[in-house]
Amino acid sequence: MRKSKLIFLSLGSITTALVATSSFSCSCLNPNPEPKKTIIKESQLRKFKAYIASKEEEISKIYVVILKGTTAEWIYSGQKGVTKEKLDSFTKALNEAKKVTDENKIADAKIKLDNAFKELNNGAIEGKKFLTEKLEFHRIKWQILTAASIENYLLEKILNLQFIVVDNDVRDPHKINSKQIAFSKREFDRYVKAIEKLLQAKTTIEMIEAYAMLKGALEEVKLDGVRGENSYIIPFEYGKEIDEKDDDMKDIVTSLALIPNVVYSPKYPRVKISEEPQWNVYDLLAKCYVNLNGYAVNLTIVSQTDDEEKGTRTVKIKAEKNGKFKEKDVVFHGFESKESKQRSDALKEKHKSMKLEFTTQYTDKKASEAYEIYDHEDVVAKELPELIQYLNDNNLHFGHAEPTFDDAKKEVYLNIHIAEAFGAYFETTITIKGFK
């Protein structure tokens, strides 16, 4: 019995066990050390193979072959240009390293590979060409952040039509409300993952990959959508009909159901709800992305109640037809609340040391001649790379208002809004100096 217990001891406990059990035979007291040595070999070799794979991936993503005379302006930002001879030399060293299977040769192989990598970088040209994909990445990221959720971004910027997500890959248009479109959960989840990848991207290469993935997913999700053909399916449901026998009430109930109970109405910069004008019916329908044509109901606003602390507006609406009516409350979020102000103030405090003054490249122009140039995000991104890098490193993004200038001070000013995530942002001013 004692012998069988030894089998289950961990490798690190064998020595202690041997000392305490001297009554066993030699064959039992001297376990073969080879398994431990084999584990070490496999571990070191596995780590070396992983190191090789990381270098190979880095080469494929960052390094590009260039001809003699190529300048940094012809190479995309985030990439490195090297000659074919240098890349071939490194590839040869990489292939030699892949052949190593002997533990005793790993150290020398790694030194050779590292030296080849250093030689590859010796004279490599860092790219400076601005990527249009990178600009589009920033634009989309800002839109997602200001929409407050991925679903709102889809609704506001892409579809402009109410939608639902259903498990079925095959959807019956007669089971979908005629004012809505249905996506399969599979394709919709793929698109959401693409957006999440985009929000997490920091390096130029990650941005390019995320943008390409998002474009592909967007085309797929658009093709996947099925428009509804049934006016009396319950909105935001699949295959459930309105349970009303009276035709007028059926129109009333369906119309009200098309208006969500909760709506996010993004405002950047955020405003207090008390500063927002009272809405009419057209304002309300536009914010809900819905039209009620075909139901012939009369929609009116009964009341509008604002909550300053929560940053919400509750609108009571009434749908009426042939003397019959029904009411419902719709809550609109997205205005400055006590919580959002605290988050935004904390974000501003956290980044109070960020650089806000820069020198222009347009030193031959007056501020009044050049200020309009800065109304384009690509110019801001190209001329203020330090700012963009800071924002990327801290997972921030910006949008800016129309620039202003002061010829006397030879300065241009950018009033920008910096957002961290859904709901938190702050405003600040970038000063660009050095104009004529």
Does residue 415 contact residue 158 with C-beta atoms inside 8 Å? no
Mean pLDDT score, 45-50: 85
- On the question of pLDDT at 283 being above 70, the answer is yes
Quickly state the pLDDT bin for 130 (edges 50, 70, 90): low
Query: Which pLDDT score, from 0 to 100, does residue 410 have?
Result: 94
CA distance linking residue 184 with residue 171, whole number of Å: 8
Overall pTM surpassing 0.85 (yes/no)? no
Query: Which pLDDT score, from 0 to 100, does residue 320 have?
Result: 97
Tell the burial category of 4 from Cβ atoms under 10 Å away from its Cβ (0-12, 13-18, 19+).
exposed
CA distance linking residue 385 with residue 402, whole number of Å: 20
CA distance linking residue 80 with residue 73, whole number of Å: 11
Query: Which pLDDT score, from 0 to 100, does residue 271 have?
Result: 80
Who has greater pLDDT, 355 or 218?
Answer: 355
CA distance linking residue 411 with residue 417, whole number of Å: 19
- On the question of pLDDT at 16 being above 80, the answer is no
Convert the pLDDT of each residue in 212-252 to its tens digit.
888 888 788 778 889 999 999 998 889 999 999 999 999 99
Mean pLDDT score, 181-203: 83
- On the question of pLDDT at 14 being above 80, the answer is no
Query: Which pLDDT score, from 0 to 100, does residue 322 have?
Result: 96
Tell the burial category of 108 from Cβ atoms under 10 Å away from its Cβ (0-12, 13-18, 19+).
exposed
Q: For residue 80, what are the contacts with CB-CB under 8 A and spacing of at least 6?
A: 62, 63, 64, 121, 124, 125, 126, 127
User: Which CATH entry fits the domain spanning 246-335: 2.60.40, 3.20.20, 3.20.140, 1.10.3470?
Assistant: 2.60.40
Kind of pairing, strands 262-264 and 357-359?
unpaired
CA distance linking residue 134 with residue 10, whole number of Å: 53
Mean pLDDT score, 174-183: 90
Query: Which pLDDT score, from 0 to 100, does residue 148 have?
Result: 65
- State the SS3 of 191-231: HHHHHHHHHHCCCHHHHHHHHHHHHHHHHHHHHHCEECCEC
**Percent of the chain surpassing pLDDT 70:** 81
Average of per-residue pLDDT values in the chain: 80
Q: Where are the domains of the chain?
A: 1-30, 34-125, 130-241, 246-335, 340-433
Convert the pLDDT of each residue in 93-104 to its tens digit.
888 888 888 888
Query: Which pLDDT score, from 0 to 100, does residue 358 have?
Result: 92
Mean pLDDT score, 333-348: 87
Question: Closest Cα to residue 234, out of 261, 260, 253?
Answer: 253
Who has greater pLDDT, 67 or 408?
Answer: 408
- On the question of pLDDT at 172 being above 90, the answer is yes
Mean pLDDT score, 396-410: 85
